[in-house]
Amino acid sequence: MSGSALESRKEETGKSRGVHIHVNHVVKTFGDKEVLKGVDLAIEPGEFVAIVGKSGSGKSTLLRLIAGLDALTDGQLLFDGVPVKESQSKATMMYQDSRLLPWKKVIENVGLGLKGNWREKAERVLDAVGLLPFQKEWPSTLSGGQKQRVALARALVHEPSLLLLDEPLSALDALTRLEMQNLIERIWLDLGFTALLVTHDVREAVRLADRIILIEDGQIALDIPNHAKRPRQLSDISLALLEKNVVERIMGAPERE
Amino acid sequence: MKTKVVQQALPWLLPLLLLAGWQVCSSIELISSQLFPSPATVLLSAWNLILTGELAYHIEASLSRAFIGGLIGGGIGFILGMLNGLSRTSFRLTDTTVQMIRTIPHLALVPLVIIWLGIDEGSKIFLVALGVMFPVYINTLHGIRTVDAGYIEMGRMYGLKGYQLFREILLPGALPSIFVGIRYALGVMWLTLIIAETIATNEGIGYLATNAREFMQTDIIIISIILYALLGKLADLLAHWGERRALRWHPSYNIQN
- The whole-number average pLDDT for the span B49-56 is 92
Q: Is the confidence at residue A34, as pLDDT, over 80?
A: yes
**Selection from A116, A115, A124, A112 nearest residue A8 by Cα:** A124
In chain B, the domains with their CATH numbers are: 41-244 (1.10.3720.10)
Contact B247, B179 (CB under 8 A): yes
**Interface with chain A: mutation pick from B153, B154, B164, B166, highest number of A CBs within 10 Å:** B154
* B53 close contact with A: CB closer than 8 A: no
Task: Give the pLDDT band of residue B3 (cuts 50, 70, 90).
Answer: confident
Contact B114, B200 (CB under 8 A): yes
- The whole-number average pLDDT for the span A24-43 is 93
Q: What is the mean pLDDT of chain B?
A: 90
Q: What is the pLDDT of residue B257?
A: 39
Name the minimum distance, in Å, from the CA of B146 to any CA of chain A.
14
Q: What is the mean pLDDT of chain A?
A: 88
Q: What is the pLDDT of residue B90?
A: 94
**Selection from A232, A213, A171, A156 nearest residue A21 by Cα:** A213
| pTM to 2 decimal places | 0.82
Contact B211, B199 (CB under 8 A): no
CB contact under 8 A, B254 and A95: no
Q: What is the pLDDT of residue A254?
A: 57
- The whole-number average pLDDT for the span A144-152 is 95
Report how far residue B185's alpha carbon sits from residue B238's, in angstroms, rounded to the nearest whole number.
13
A166 beta partners: A198
Residues of A in contact with B251 (CB under 8 A): 140
Q: What is the pLDDT of residue B75?
A: 97
- The whole-number average pLDDT for the span A197-213 is 93
- The whole-number average pLDDT for the span A154-182 is 93
In chain A, the domains with their CATH numbers are: 3-90+159-251 (3.40.50.300)
Nearest to A140 among B154, B160, B251 (CB): B251
Q: Identify the closest residue of chain A to B158 by CA–CA distance.
A: A113
Nearest to A101 among B151, B153, B248 (CB): B151
Burial A58-89 (b: 16+ CB within 10 A, else e): bbbbbbbbbbbeeebeebebbbeeeebeebeb
Contact A101, B168 (CB under 8 A): yes
CB contact under 8 A, A101 and B153: no
Task: Give the pLDDT band of residue A16 (cuts 50, 70, 90).
Answer: low
B182 vs A235, higher pLDDT? B182
- Residue A103 Cα to chain centre, angstroms: 26
- The whole-number average pLDDT for the span B26-50 is 87
Sign of CA dihedral A31, A32, A38, A42: negative
- The whole-number average pLDDT for the span B177-181 is 95
DSSP A77-115: EEETTEEGGG----EEEE-SS----TTS-HHHHHTTT--
Q: Identify the closest residue of chain B to A99 by CA–CA distance.
A: B151
Query: pLDDT per residue over B95-118, tens digit each?
Result: 999 999 999 999 999 889 989 988
* B176 close contact with A: CB closer than 8 A: no
ipTM: 0.84
Burial B82-103 (b: 16+ CB within 10 A, else e): bbbbeeeeebeeeeeebeeeee
Task: Give the pLDDT band of residue A183 (cuts 50, 70, 90).
Answer: very high
Task: Give the pLDDT band of residue B1 (cuts 50, 70, 90).
Answer: low
- The whole-number average pLDDT for the span B77-89 is 94
* B138 close contact with A: CB closer than 8 A: no
| Percent of chain B at pLDDT exceeding 90 | 57
Name the minimum distance, in Å, from the CA of B186 to any CA of chain A.
25
Judged by average pLDDT, the poorest of A12-21, B32-41, B90-99 is: A12-21
